[in-house]
Structure 1
Amino acid sequence: MLKYIQNSFLFLVLILVVSCAEDPTPKPNAYLRLSYPEANYNEVNLDVPFTFQKNEFATQVGVKKMGGLDNYGVNIEYSNLKGTIFLTYKSIHKDSTSLVEFMRDAQNFTQKHTIIADEIVEQVYLNDERKVYGMFYEIGGNAASQSQFYVTDSVNHFLTGSLYFYAKPNYDSILPAAKYLEKDIKQIMESVTWK
């Protein structure tokens, strides 16, 4: 038994000597470093009533004719980021109520995120030269979409857009990609030209 106690004591002394050699230093926090390519924009001229510029980083652009006379869906896919910018175009009918309805629907669609969103920041967009007027929404928090917008010429054209990722909303995780694609959405808004 005495030999067992001596061995245990020797073992403890050895651990203390080895562990006390240096002062422990805490490791710095690690942050995920994500880098995306610098955006290069090219004009997209599809068989729809408007043109716009998209980032070359987008992997695919799809067009779908939707219900109605001149209604289209355009999907701009970013497979590397697991996200898509969805555009929906609607032609404004001659009666003035359709523009009001379209704007109300776009605003209500964004406001549905207030249940989950931490904040919704609105930015007005006006371009009298190209007759493009609208609103950009930046949505903070674990909402399904982090960016949404609408633009119109107030007479014939109405375009909405929203960003979605193929993942459960986790704002901290998708924030770098959301900020990168926010610039692409603003470029779409700023480059829209009606045909």
Structure 2
Amino acid sequence: MTLRPYLLLALTLALFSCGSDPLPKPKAMLRLDYQKPEYAKVDLKLPFTFEKNTNANDINYIKLDGINNSSGANIIYPNMKGTIYLTYKKVTTTNLDSLLRDAQNLTQKHTLKADEIESIVYENPSKKVFGMFYEVGGNAASQSQFYVTDSLNHFLNGSLYFYAKPNYDSI
């Protein structure tokens, strides 16, 4: 007789514990919210000036002595855990081909880990500035690289690196 109340309770719980049929979750899209960019002019000891996003709170000037009169700057974005590395080199009558080849080879080294490398040509004929922007897809160390030059005096090479293990599915 003492088993009957427990059996009735178990039957009641079994009937009311069933809910509606499970529904699949809708596909989610990654949403990244960034502040609206504001730019400020930067004037370092480089033979050019540029504007940086004010979210970058630190810029390091670097003098690369003995390397083709090179210098550069590191633009650090601590909130995004990334850095843009800029390297400037003076163009001479004999080094433009090697500068272009080196910049392109630097990007091509990522083909081992990259799924794709998309190149976008940059041309500004009115200012006589030409270059290339590379967007690297996949688990490569750098997702973006570029170079610009006026072909006579100046060559600027840049790359973006994040301080995280490359995992393209989660970046």
TM-score, normalised via structure 1 length: 0.78
Counterpart-to-counterpart distance in 1, 2:70 and 2:9: 79
User: Gaps (5+ residues) in structure 2?
Assistant: none
Q: Does 1:73 align with 2:72?
A: yes
Equivalent pairs counted in the alignment come to 170
Q: Which has the higher contact order (CA 8 A, sep 6+)?
A: 1
Partner of 2:48: 50
- Residues 104 and 33 of structure 1: is their aligned pair in 2 closer, same or farther, counting only changes over 3 Å? same
Q: Is the 8 A contact 2:46 2:72 kept in 1?
A: no
- Residues 49 and 16 of structure 1: is their aligned pair in 2 closer, same or farther, counting only changes over 3 Å? same
Superposed, 1:1-195 pairs within 5 Å as: 3=2, 7=6, 9-29=7-27, 31=29, 33-68=31-66, 70-93=69-92, 95-96=93-94, 98-174=95-171
* Structure 1 residue ranges, 4+ long, deviating more than 2 angstroms after superposition: 2-7, 9-12, 20-34, 67-70
SS state of the match for residue 146, structure 1? strand
The structure with the greater share of residues assigned to helix is 1
Question: Greater shift after overlay, 20-29 or 140-149?
Answer: 20-29
Counterpart-to-counterpart distance in 1, 2:160 and 2:168: 13
> Per-residue deviation at 1:50?
1.1
RMSD over aligned CA atoms reads 2.1
TM-score, normalised via structure 2 length: 0.88
User: Gaps (5+ residues) in structure 1?
Assistant: 175-195
